[in-house]
Amino acid sequence: MTPAKGNDPDRTPAGQAAPDAARGHVSSKFIRREAALAASDAKHAKISAQRFSLLRTRILREMRSRGWSTLAVVPVTPGAGGTFVAVNLALALARQPHTQVALIDLDLGSPSVAGQLGIPGCAAVSAALRAGGDLEMLVSQVDEAPNLSVLAPQRAETDAAELLQDEALAQAMRRLHDSHPAEIAVIDTAALLGEDAALAALPLADALLLVADGHRGTAADMAECERLLVGMPPVMGVVLNKSED
C-alpha cells in the first residue's frame, strides 16, 4: 500500500469460510441488493450515497495531504454501527477511479465484515500466522467493486486482544502493506469501550475515525474515549450513526 495521493476525490463514476483454492474473487450479496434498491428508489439511494461520498472526500483529502494510508474505523460502544460505516466508506472510496482500497476486519473477536457484505469469510488470521504469516492468502477481490479487496475472517478468534498485540501480526500487516496495491486500507475494529481488543488494533493505523451511537451515546462515553486515546493515532473525526438528522 502506498500513502494516499492522486486524483480529485469527488470524481466518482456513474456463510462459510471459502476453501484456500477458492480465494481470489468473491461476490457480494450486499452490493447486489443495494444496486437493486437504487434501481427501485433512486432518491433514497442518492441520499445514502451522498452521505458517504462527502465523508470519502474529507477522508481522502486529509489522508493524501498527510501521506497516510491506513484508517481504523472505531465504534465507541458495541452496536454503534462501526462495521456499517467501515463497509460503506470502503465502497465509497473504491468508487473513486484509480483508487485501490483494502477493507480489513480486525474485530477478530467478533468479525462481521463478511456478513455485512454478504461474502464468504476467509480462514482465521491466527491460522495464517501459524502457516508463515502471509495475510495476502486471505485477501479477496470483490467482483461487484473491482477496486475493493477484503480480508474478512469468517470465525471469531478466542484470544483476539492477545493476537492483535502479537508482533507476528504487526509484521504480517507490514508485509501486506508493502505487497498489496491498495492506496487506502480501512480497518474495522472492535468497540473502544468495554474491551481491550480495539486498543490493541489502533497502533496498526495511521489515523482513526470514531463511530458514536447517535441514540444512546453519551458525553461520558466521549470523555472516556479521549482518555483512552492518549498516545494513539490522531482522530480524524466522529460519525454520529443512527442519528435522527
Burial pattern 13-47, b for ≥16 Cβ within 10 A else e, equals: eeeebbeeeebeebebebbeebeeeeeeeeeeeee
- The predicted structure's pLDDT at residue 217: 84
CA distance 227 to 243: 24
* pTM: predicted TM-score of the whole model, two decimal places: 0.87
Residue 113 backbone zone (phi > 0: left; psi -120 to 50: alpha; other: beta): alpha
- Residue appearing with cell numbers 482465521: 124
Q: What is the pLDDT along the chain (245 residues), one digit of tens a residue?
A: 655 555 444 443 334 444 443 458 999 999 988 888 777 777 767 776 777 999 999 999 999 999 999 999 999 999 999 999 999 999 999 998 889 999 999 999 999 999 999 999 999 999 999 998 789 999 999 999 999 999 999 999 999 999 999 999 999 999 999 998 899 999 999 999 977 899 999 999 999 999 999 888 889 999 999 999 999 999 999 999 875 43
Q: What are phi and psi of 107, to 5 degrees?
A: -85, 70
Residue 237 CB neighbours (<10 A): 12
In the chain, what are the domain boundaries?
21-241
Distances, alpha carbon 53 to alpha carbons 14, 72, 98, 180, in Å: 13, 18, 16, 24
Q: CATH number for the 21-241 domain, one of 3.40.50.300, 3.90.1150.10, 3.40.718.10, 3.20.20.150?
A: 3.40.50.300
